[in-house]
Homo-oligomer: A and B are copies of this chain.
Amino acid sequence: MINKLINRIENLGAPIVVGLDPMLGYIPECVKAKAFAEKGETLEGAAEAIWQFNKAIVDATHDLIPAVKPQIAMYEQFGIEGLKVFKQTVEYCKEKGLIVIGDVKRGDIGSTSEAYAVGHLGKVTVGQNSFYGFDEDFVTVNPYLGSDGIDPFIKVCKEENKGLFILVKTSNKSSGEFQDQLVNGRPLYELVGEKVASWGESHMGDAYSYVGAVVGATYPEMGKILRKIMPKTYILVPGYGAQGGKAADLAPYFNKDGLGAIINSSRGIIAAYKQPGYEKYGEEAYADASRQAVIDMITDIKSAI
């Protein structure tokens, strides 16, 4: 799957991923009004609005982008109805040829981590049968519990030829409270980065590992060091655009082969119609605004690497 991701990135010339984080506030009133008219101002109505919104954006952008990253929290907040749309979105994106990175940030230990891995990447066994749960291609994972939390994910990834992105240095302001603490003179995120590189050796693709890392665009100096610590690790980079990360900051996340990083934008793409430069599309043509925002993002990032 990491090879497939890299192929798509190279073929499209687009080291980007679109974050499908459909907060209701991002969804145009016209989409919500139609969904609520059909299914009421209910969880089902919200789920329908999210589905129509996602589908239009995927239809308008799938030929330009290698991957999407649905943030499961934005679905889970609507309970079962929301999670049904998460699953439907994963399935639809895969039908369209997109690679799906489930931004689930799960993490536990032993059989519990394995249950998460099985539910999101693998198959669960029931008697003589087995079934995929959510069936993403990659998921994000939290490393705080150490190898006991990661190994079960890697086991399932090996069975399924799938992959992970493990949190190393997150894009938020307070990420330093624990991640930047100095351990023997070096920040904790460097130790986590070393571990990610080491875990990744056990599940290699051609040039890069199936075990990737998350490093926020908002910390380019740290990104530069982590790039060196994890030379064969694909880095998923959140924080570009709305969170303040600029294209000029992104060069250190890439290797000399022009690969090694994939930049996420969520509201900058899916809510483009609300943003300066794209208002002219109006809310009814929100998907066209998203398409143009993808084109502009690719141009912006290419200018920097």
Chain A residues proximal to chain B, CB less than 8 Å: 21, 23-24, 32, 36, 41-43, 45-46, 71, 73-74, 76-80, 82-84, 87, 105-113, 115-116, 118-120, 124-129, 131-134, 142-149, 167, 170-179, 181-184, 188, 191-192, 195
Copies of this protein, total:
2
Q: Which residue of B lies closest to A187 (CB)?
A: B183
Decide: A118 near B77, CB < 8 A? Known: A143-B144, A145-B174, A147-B177: yes
Partner among B46, B83, B112 whose Cβ is within 8 Å of the Cβ of A71: B112
In the bound complex, what is the Cα–Cα distance between A183 and B105 (angstroms)? 25
Decide: A172 near B80, CB < 8 A? Known: A144-B179, A192-B178: no
Partner among B42, B116, B128, B133 whose Cβ is within 8 Å of the Cβ of A126: B42
Given A21-B112, A46-B124, A78-B119, 11 new contacts (CB under 8 A): A36-B127, A74-B112, A76-B115, A80-B83, A80-B87, A109-B171, A143-B144, A146-B172, A177-B195, A181-B191, A183-B183
Of the candidates A42, A71, A124, A167, the one having the most CB atoms from chain B within 10 angstroms of its own CB is: A124
In the bound complex, residues from chain B placing their C-beta under 8 Å from that of A45 are 126-127
Q: Which residue of B lies closest to A41 (CB)?
A: B127
Ordered by A's residue number, 6 sampled pairs between the chains whose C-beta atoms are within 8 Å are: A41-B128, A73-B113, A77-B124, A79-B131, A83-B83, A147-B177
B109 with A106: CB separation less than 8 A: no
In the bound complex, residues from chain B placing their C-beta under 8 Å from that of A79 are 87, 119, 124, 131-134
A181 with B183: CB separation less than 8 A: yes
In the bound complex, what is the Cα–Cα distance between A41 and B130 (angstroms)? 9
A182 with B179: CB separation less than 8 A: no
